[in-house]
Structures are given as structure tokens and as C-alpha cells.
Amino acid sequence: MFRNIYGLDLGTYELKVFDKKRDFIWKEKNIIARKDKEFLYAAGDEAWVMFEKSPDNIEVLFPMQNGVIARFHDMQCLLDNLLKKERPFSGGAEYLVAVPADVTEVEKRAFYDLVYHSSARAKSVRIVERGIADAIGFGVNVQRTEGILIVNMGGGSTDISVLCQGGMVMNRLLKLGGEHLDQAIQNLVRHHMGFLIGRRTAESLRQDFGIFEDVDCKEIDVTGRNLKTGIPKHRSIPVGMVRTALKEPLKECAAEIKAMFDRTPPVIRSAVEKNGICLTGGLANLKELSTYLQVSTGLKVRTCTRPELCVVEGLRTIIQDKRNYRELTYSLSDEGSRWLR
């Protein structure tokens, strides 16, 4: 009997799933809403609609923080809720989960336990390091490359990986992502204008203005709250203020990438210098980010059409070509030793 296989990329703000049986990728917001701090009110995309708009008795939460599971019970409730939807999950299926390399064994185990002990009734769960899946999804031949630098900039973290011939040489998980850029915008607007804007508004400003790309509109009118009067009102936010807010966190990220490159062994470093940086993750869609990193690090930067899907596309490739890629995965339990045979 055919047993289905799923690939899971659990991002801080979005959960992405590959379904082998249908050869299909779907995604859902990684967020839940609880009523009176106890009852699950909404999950996924339904909860995202309520973010920053919910009444006082409904709390909207992100179970993932900085690339790892911060609220295990809430994350399990979210996953169980999605399994009950029209998503075609089936009991007894096998799962491949992308996990950051630069985390503790306890944090890695949480990813495994989340799926294995959920209502999915998983037959087996295997792990692959996210940087490896990311590179495969980008189109890199990870088993033959002499050196590649993968930078995945997501909503809650940045995963920097140096790969060589199918192995992880170095990895660093930074607590720096889209939410931190948005918070920097919020803080600067509050400090200089006495005006409070929401995170979704800050995100829109970041996406509209970018880093240093020329734009026709020099300011955008947004809704917020005057901190002196407490009255909601409209104000114009200038492009210069947004880009000033982005400067420090992006500078920190570029410095970490350069430091990783400088610590790379000489032979691999020469290959990385030739191949450049593969930029992935949802934040890679930020206007002129690739140009900024290229100027800041001195390395050429490449990206792709849909960088936010690179990890789950890599999971798709590993699952569909099990003969060539199985050795890149591993199990945290003996029960998973029969996976993909």
C-alpha cells in the first residue's frame, strides 16, 4: 500500500508543506488566536486576519520565534487544527522536516516530537538541515559543490550556512529577520514622530520603500495613533525615515555574513568567493537587498524567482529523488530507519 510523504518547512511566520501524492506545495500562516487565554479560536490564515485587530479577550500568538519552536503546545494545536482542515493529510504518512543546524539538540528534538506525537499519526519522521534543503531548492548540486554560502533571511531569523560536498561546514542562526526590521521602523517612527504604527503597517512601509531603490513616492500616508493625545489619525511617513531604521539591522546581518566568510577554511572560501551568496527566504524579496549585501560583503549575490519557497522545494527534491538524497537526512528515532526505502 502506498504511503504518502510530506515535507515540512516550519517558518516563524509561515508553514509550508509539500504533499508527494499530489505533487503540490501549500502554505499557511504560522499563527493562532486563543480566546480567554484558553480556547483555540482560530488558526493559520484565519488567525492572521485578526492580527492587531482582535478584541481584548482574544490573544493572537506566533508559536515559532527566531526560527525555533517557542510555544510547543500552541504549535501542536496549530498543526492539529490544520490537519483537520481540507488539507489532504493521511494517517501513517512519513515526514521530512527541515530544521536549523545551529540549534540545541533539545530544540531539534522539539521539531521531531511536534510531528511524531501529533494527530498526524506519523509512521516515521526524518530531519534534514535547513541549509541543505535550501541549497537544493535553489538548484545547487550540494553533493558536488566545493563551497557555497546560503543566506536564508526569513520573518524571524537569518540562517547562514557554508556547504561543501553535501556537508554543513559552518552554520549560524541569527535572531534577525523581517519582524526585527519592522520593529526598528516602529521604534524610529515612535521616537521621532510621537506616532505609533502597527507591525503590519511597518511591514508595508518596508516592502513599499525598500532599501535604497529610487521610488516615485517619497512618503506614504498611514494610520496610527498619536502618543500624546491617544487619538487615531493619519500621518505621512517619509522614505528616509524607513531606510534609516533598516540601516542598523541590515548592517549587522551583512557583518555576520562577512565574518562567516572570513572564518571559512581557505580552500572552501575560494569556492565560495567564486560561487557567491545564494540569497533565499521571504526577506530576499525586499527591494535591492541583494544589491545591498553585494556591496556590503564584496561577494556577488544570486537569488531566484520565489526565494521564500527554496526550503520546501528542496524537501520536494529530496523526497522525489530518495535514492540520491536519502543520505542527507537522518532520524532521531530507530522507528525512522525505514524511511523512503
- CATH class given for the domain over 141-176+246-308: alpha beta
pTM here is: 0.91
Give the closest residue to 66 by CA, choosing from 151, 173, 175, 203. Answer: 175
pLDDT of residue 89: 54
Rounded Cα distance between 81 and 146, Å, is 43
Could you state, in order of their start, the residue ranges of all structural domains in the chain? 5-133+309-338, 141-176+246-308, 178-244
Q: Residue 103 corresponds to which cell in the numbers above?
A: 540549534
* C-alpha gyration radius of the chain: 21
Does pLDDT of 95 surpass 50?
yes
Where are any strands of DSSP class E within 47-204?
Answer: 58-61, 64-65, 68-69, 94-99, 124-129, 148-153, 158-164, 167-174, 195-196
Does pLDDT of 3 surpass 80?
no
- How far CA 120 is from CA of 24, 87, 167, 247, in Å, comes to 18, 12, 30, 43
Q: Residue 35 corresponds to which cell in the numbers above?
A: 480566546
Tell me the pLDDT tens digit for each residue of 322-341. 888 889 999 887 444 444 44
Tell me the pLDDT tens digit for each residue of 54-70. 888 999 999 999 889 99
The DSSP bridge pattern shows strands 195-196 and 219-226 to be antiparallel
With beta carbons less than 8 A apart as the criterion, state whether 119 and 53 touch.
no
Tell me the pLDDT tens digit for each residue of 173-228. 999 999 999 999 999 999 999 999 999 999 999 998 888 756 666 888 999 999 99
Rounded Cα distance between 101 and 108, Å, is 8
Count Cβ atoms within 10 A of the Cβ of residue 293 and give its class: 0-12 exposed, 13-18 middle, 19 or more buried: buried
Q: Residue 235 corresponds to which cell in the numbers above?
A: 500621518
User: Mind giving me the DSSP string for 200-214?
Assistant: HHHHHHHHHH-SS--
pLDDT of residue 338: 46
CATH number belonging to domain 5-133+309-338: 3.30.420.40
> Any idea which residue has 572552501 for its cell?
268
Rounded Cα distance between 181 and 222, Å, is 18
With beta carbons less than 8 A apart as the criterion, state whether 176 and 253 touch.
yes
Asked if the domains 5-133+309-338 and 141-176+246-308 are classified in one and the same CATH topology, the answer is yes
Q: Residue 99 corresponds to which cell in the numbers above?
A: 530544521
Confidence class of residue 38 from pLDDT cuts 50, 70 and 90?
Answer: confident
Tell me the pLDDT tens digit for each residue of 138-167. 999 999 999 999 999 999 999 999 999 989
Rounded Cα distance between 169 and 162, Å, is 5
Tell me the pLDDT tens digit for each residue of 294-326. 999 999 999 999 999 999 999 999 999 988 888
Rounded Cα distance between 265 and 200, Å, is 41
Residues whose CB is less than 8 angstroms from the CB of residue 237 and which lie 6 or more positions away in sequence, other chains included? 189, 193, 197, 205, 219, 220, 221, 222
Rounded Cα distance between 202 and 214, Å, is 19
pLDDT of residue 261: 96
- CATH class given for the domain over 178-244: alpha beta
